[in-house]
Amino acid sequence: MALSKLTGTGVAIVTPFRKDGSIDFKSLEKLIDFLVSGGVSYIVALGTTGETPVLSKAEKKAIISSVIEVTNKRIPVVMGIGGNCTSEVLETIKSTSFDGTEAILSVSPYYNKPGQEGIYQHYKLIAEASPVPVIIYNVPGRTGSNITAETCLRLAKETKGNILGVKEASGNMSQIMNIAKEKPAGFLLISGDDALTLPMMAIGGSGVISVIGNAFPADFSRMVKLSLEGRYEEARKIHFRLLPAIDLAFAEGSPSGIKAFLDVMGITPNFVRLPLVCASKELYKKIENFVKNY
């Protein structure tokens, strides 16, 4: 697989639901077509934005099958497979078909808060078991533990190239800069924070796995493309234009905010599964006003 396939703008897609809580596959198809036509580089299915903690195994299988079918090789698909039980993650990999999938995005083990050696061993086994490349996902705000730059670089250098990159959502720019400085050639440094994508690109980042890209795929992809070309003055204009949307999307948590955006835009309906709740009326109104004036 050419590494450049996953350079640029990836979008962590939402899972659309109907009012009764069932999966809305028609809206999922509409969203994918919207993203492809918007010029995104690839799609990430079954990530945090897809509300995977509240999806059954059967639903996850149905979603990834639908995503691969609808995308129809127009752009690559990355599948989220992660967890805090290493043996269970390995079993999931073993029982999963990766036809039509370019890579795995695997979140760092959460809740049980392993140390750095435990995190290293967890990913080492995943890299050995996976038939497709693996992207590490570091998001301490959700997992309760951080993957240090040292551990990330150790994995990048010691897993025979099967760890493709890292989605970095720590918000720690000092840590991110150390990864950028020391990473092997070809190792992807991917922003996991929409608001930090531009500064991460400036220090050598390869792109983003975005939430706000669900609603603004063309503009966000354009900003990332300009950054990759070193055209930062033009990229900054788009960055600052989208910054209020990013703030609104995360004001009451994700994916509640981005689902409100997609509902206002008529792409997917505004339903989430408990324990998440929909955006408040006040936030929805602000999102409506932003979209109207954008």
The residues carrying an active-site annotation are: 137, 167
Residue type (1 letter), 21:
G
Cα separation, 263 vs 270, in Å, equals 5
Question: Which three-class secondary structure string do you get for 162-181?
Answer: CEEEEEECCCCHHHHHHHHH
DSSP conformational letter for 230? T
CA atoms within 13 A on the CB side of 231: 10
**CA–CA gap between residue 259 and residue 185 (Å, rounded):** 37
Distance (Å) of CA 119 to CA 30, 160, 180, 191: 37, 17, 20, 20
**Mutual angle of helices 256-264 and 232-250, in 10-degree steps:** 110
Cβ contacts of 38 within 8 Å, gap of 6 or more: 213, 216, 217, 218, 221
Nearest to 134, CA basis, from 162, 101, 108: 162
Sign of the alpha-carbon torsion through 123, 125, 130, 131: positive
- Cis before residue 114, ω within 30 degrees of 0? no
167: number of Cβ within 10 Å = 26
Contact 77, 101 (CB under 8 A): yes
